[in-house]
Structure 1
Amino acid sequence: MDHLPDFKFGEQVVSVFDDMVGRSVPFYGEMQRMIAEIAGDYAVPGTTVYDLGCSTGTTFLCIDPNVAPDVKFVGIDNSPEMLERCRLKLDRHGMKRDVELRHGDLNQGVEIGNASLVLLVLTLQFVRPLYRDKLVASILDGMNENGALILVEKVIGEDSLFNRQFIKYYYDMKRRNGYSELEISQKREALENVLIPYKLMENREMLLRAGFRHCDTFFKWYNFTGMIAVK
């Protein structure tokens, strides 16, 4: 069999992205609801919420009702196709607040300011490990005191025995959601050199090393986790 090209967030992926994450990310809707709940406590009026890797804007739409109207949204993504879809989606849903969408590669760092909340929802795992500490440090530097970072990631199990089992359970979930064996294997191969997960504790240590004062896990399902860290 020919080697599949690496996974890329181009038009082909963008066109099916919302359906894809809904079927391939466990409890995706519940995680979005939890993020919106947390956003209500941390998005301070007059500040900015950043979604790094904003994709089609689903998280912005989820948190919008919970956040004061004078909070600005800034979405950054390295896929022009994603940003175009995001703008269309936000407009279609009638979002009224100030929203800025930027094209940017997080491997090159990010400039943020006046941030009370920063979102990294299934994004950091696509940043090359060499650049992750620097990115997290730059996020912390641009955040206001008591600002929060929400990090949702696919993770490696802390123990190799459980890691194998968690991956098996995850693929079982994808089969239940209609993915074929071929689709599962092709997606795994396409992501192999693109999505590089850390262990949960490695992510926690990275956040604390950067200087966040508080860190905890708000969601865990086998090899997926949601974490919150506060400056």
Structure 2
Amino acid sequence: MNINEESEKDNIFKDQITKVSDFKFGNKVVNVFDDMVNRSVPFYGEMQRMTAELAADHAQETTNVYDLGCSTGTTLIGLNELVSQKIHFIGIDESEEMLNKCNTKLREAGVTRAYDLQVGDLHQDVEINNASVVILCLTLQFVRPLYRNRLLKNIYNGLNQGGVLILVEKVLAENSLFNRDFIKYYYDYKRRLDYSEMEISQKREALENVLIPYKLSENVTLLNEAGFAHCETFFKWYNFSGLIATKQ
């Protein structure tokens, strides 16, 4: 899966910015998003593949599969060929620009199943029903901490028995010493993919008050408090992780 095929190169933070604003998912980001995420998230393509195969094994016919924070639709496209046409896709994102790009990519990928793309703010109550799979791929980290527990409980209540939540997140290390190391390794990764020191610094500043990561253990606790009985880590790379949790 070549997620950069239709994306422009991410040069948003290439030039010096006098005052860096909080990161927003507007048109400027939408146009370069696929390149940005591939160069900013280690093993992004593999995480997408793993998410799709996990979702496919738990998606049930005549149910809904939700992608919350669906962005440009990469996750839904990866899942499309793995599940029955009787499964309904619902993508929710707060950015209308992202949803327009998502719809274009779904059509270009030949997705013919029924799907809905909805503008929605995950800080508010989002309707979830008849769900066998809910996906939060690099999304919960952008939800303000005060609202995360309510969102996860809403997801839990909207899942059918045996349904799963797949959660991919940037995380903090359990120990501050390792956290410093992991951040260093992460910035080394970005340098290898041609991000400059200025780009790394300015994007870090833009995300400082927008992307708020938790420790892996804190995310597991949130899932348990929401009602999920079983939770398993399926991916880990320094400060990125993937979790799957089931509703029994």
- What interval of TM-score do these two structures reach, taking the shorter chain for normalisation? over 0.9
Displacement of 1:109 in angstroms is 2.5
Structure with the larger helix share: 1
Question: What do residues 140-170 of structure 1 show as CA deviations (whole Å, max 9, x unaligned)?
Answer: 0000000000000000110000000000000
- Partner of 1:176 in structure 2? 192
Runs in 1 of length 4+ with deviation above 2 angstroms?
none
The aligned length equals 231
1:147 corresponds, among 156, 159, 163, to 163
- The answer to whether residue 25 in structure 2 is matched with residue 9 in structure 1 is yes
**TM-score (ref. length: structure 2):** 0.92
Q: Residues 50-107 of structure 1: CA distance to partner in whole angstroms, max 9, x if unpaired? A: 0000000000000111111100000000001000000011011110101100001001
Measure how far apart 1:213 and its partner are. 1.1
CA offsets per residue over residues 22-59 of structure 1, 9 Å max, x none?
Answer: 11100000001101110121000110000000000000
User: What is the CA-CA distance between 1:3 and the residue it aligns to?
Assistant: 2.6
- Counterpart Cα distance in 2 of 1:158 and 1:2: 35
The separation in 2 between residues aligned to 1:36 and 1:68, in whole angstroms, is 13
Q: RMSD across aligned C-alpha pairs, in angstroms?
A: 0.7
Counterpart in 1 of 2:131? 115
Aligned equivalents of 1:104, 1:34: Cα separation in 2: 26
Q: In structure 2, list runs of 5 or more residues that go unmatched.
A: 1-16
Identify the match of residue 163 of structure 1 among 162, 179, 201: 179
Give 3-state SS (helix, strand or coil) of 1:66's partner: coil
Separation in 2 of the partners of 1:190 and 1:22?
18
Amino acid at match of 1:185: S
Distance in 2 of aligned mates of 1:36 and 1:196: 25
Please state how far the C-alpha of 1:2 moved relative to its aligned partner: 3.0
Paired residue type of 1:88: T
Q: For 2:65 and 2:56, locate their aligned partners in 1 and report how far apart those are by CA, in whole Å.
A: 11
The structure 2 residue matched to 1:194, chosen from 207, 210, 220, is: 210
Which residue is 2:120 aligned to? 104
Question: Residue 86 of structure 1: which of 97, 102, 107 is its match?
Answer: 102
TM-score w.r.t. the length of structure 1 is 0.99
Identity rate, percent: 65
